[in-house]
Amino acid sequence: MVERQPVLTAVTHLVLVLGILVVAFPIYVTFVASTHPLEDVARAPMPLRPGDRLAENYAAALTEGLRTVGGLPVGRMLANSLVMALGIAVGKIAISILSAYAIVYFRFPLRTVCFWMIFMTLMLPVEVRIVPTYQVVADLGLLNSYAGLTVPLIASATATFLFRQFFLGVPEELFDAARIDGAGPVRFFTDILLPISRTTLAALFVILFIYGWNQYLWPLLVTTDESMYTIVVSIHRMTSVAEAQVEWHRVMATTMLAMLPPVAVVVLMQRWFVKGLMETEK
């Protein structure tokens, strides 16, 4: 913010609060639903204020989660989700940043072909090719393994595309300065490009981590060992009860719990956002 304009500031805050109300309202409802007994949640209309069963529902979600996955501790499921999310986020970022770097800062035959090949992966959604992908993974012997869970999901175009956009926006002067200093491509990458990519990296990490965290269909298909299931799978599990009654209050409580690590990641990344920003100010 450059000038001090109290009116503008007030308007800004107002818009943000409104935005949060709209955007976060469903989350609020989730929270409220997780604090009531099932009877109140399943009847019309659900009360808007938090109920009195918070401790009970959450305790049950934590220990019940134990039972519904056949005696597996919730900790194990969270660990699986974590490994998947981290593996996918780190993997995608690593290979995408390298590819984008190559495409923007080098000239080589097949350059455009490579970009479009990578970009094409956006054009066919996962669910359509999931059965043949499963077959490939099975043939490679990667079923029921962390590798099988993460590697097929690393082929992403969004990260490459994003980095391409970002690199194209980097001023040429930086490149020239580096060349004059005698820096090769590796030095340029590590000393100049990476530091200024901080905010983009942080943003991407948040998005990809959550993407990996929320994976449902792929882990379900690729593992037959329930000890490899992720926490999102267990949430789904609670909702597929055929004709019986879904335990909505439990589902909501578990959903809130499952959202905590991604939110923690967001909060941590924010620190990095700000730090990265301040560094470039210097």
Partner 1 sequence: MPMTRRRWLTVAATTAAVLKPTLVRAETEIQFWHAMGGALGEKTKELAEGFNRSQSEYRVNAVYKGNYTETMTGAIAAFRARQQPHIVQVFEVGTATMMAATGAIKPVHALMAEAGEKFDPAAYLPAVTGYYTTADGRMLSLPFNSSTPVLYYNKDAFRKAGLDPARPPRTWPEVGEAVRKLQAAGLACGFTTCWQSWIQLENFSAWHNVPFATRANGFGGLDAELRFNSPLHVRHIGQLAEWQKTKAFDYGGRRNEATAKFTSGECGMLTESSAGYAGIKRTAKFEFGIGTLPYWPDVAGAPQNTIIGGASLWVMAGHSPQAYRGVARFFSYLSSPEVQADWHQFTGYLPITRAAWDLTRKQGFYEKNPGTEISILQMTGKPPTENSKGLRLGNFVQIRDVIDEELEAVWAGKKPAKEALDAAVRRGNDLLRQFERAHR
Partner 2 sequence: MERRRVFPHRVLPYLLVAPQIAVTLVFFFWPASQALWQSVLIQDAFGLSTRFAGLENFRTILSDPDYRHSLGVTAVFSSAVSALALGSALGLALMADRVVRGARAYRTLLIWPYAVAPAVAGVLWLFLFNPTVGIVAFALRQVGYRWNHLLDGREALLLVVLAAAWKQISYNFVFFLAGLQGIGRAVIEAAAIDGAGPARRVVSVVLPLLSPTVFFLVVVNVVYAFFDTFGIVHAVTGGGPAKATEILVFKVFRDGFVGLDLGRSAAQSVILMAIVIGLTIVQFRWLERRVHY
User: Which residues in this chain contact partner 1 in the complex, by CB under 8 A?
Assistant: 38-39, 42-44, 67-68, 70, 130-131, 134-135, 138-139, 143, 217, 220-221, 224-226, 236-247
Q: What x/- string results for residues 252 through 281 when contact with partner 2 is judged by CB under 8 A? A: ---x--xx--xx--xx--x--x---x--xx
Q: Please tell me what DSSP assigns to residue 150.
A: H
- Here the tokens at position 264 are 């923690």
Residue closer to partner 2, measured from CB, 72 or 233: 233
The alpha carbon of residue 121 and the mean position of all alpha carbons in its chain are separated, in whole angstroms, by 18
Answer for the pair 31, 252: CB distance below 8 angstroms, yes or no.
yes
**Closest approach of partner 2 to the CB of residue 251, in Å:** 8
Residues in the chain, total: 282
Q: What φ, ψ does residue 90 adopt, rounded to 5°?
A: -65, -45
Please choose which of partner 2, partner 1, none residue 143 contacts, taking the beta carbon within 5 to 8 angstroms, the exact cut-off set by kind.
Answer: partner 1
Task: Count other C-beta atoms under 10 Å from residue 130's C-beta.
Answer: 15
Q: What x/- string results for residues 144 through 183 when contact with partner 2 is judged by CB under 8 A? A: -------xx-xx--x-xxx--xx-xx--x--xx--x----
Residue whose pair of structure tokens reads 């941590």 in the numeric block: 268
- Here the tokens at position 65 are 């989660």
Residue closer to partner 1, measured from CB, 99 or 230: 230
**Closest approach of partner 2 to the CB of residue 277, in Å:** 5
7 lies in the site for partner 2, by CB under 8 A: no
Residue closer to partner 1, measured from CB, 7 or 244: 244
Cα–Cα dist 250/252, whole Å? 5
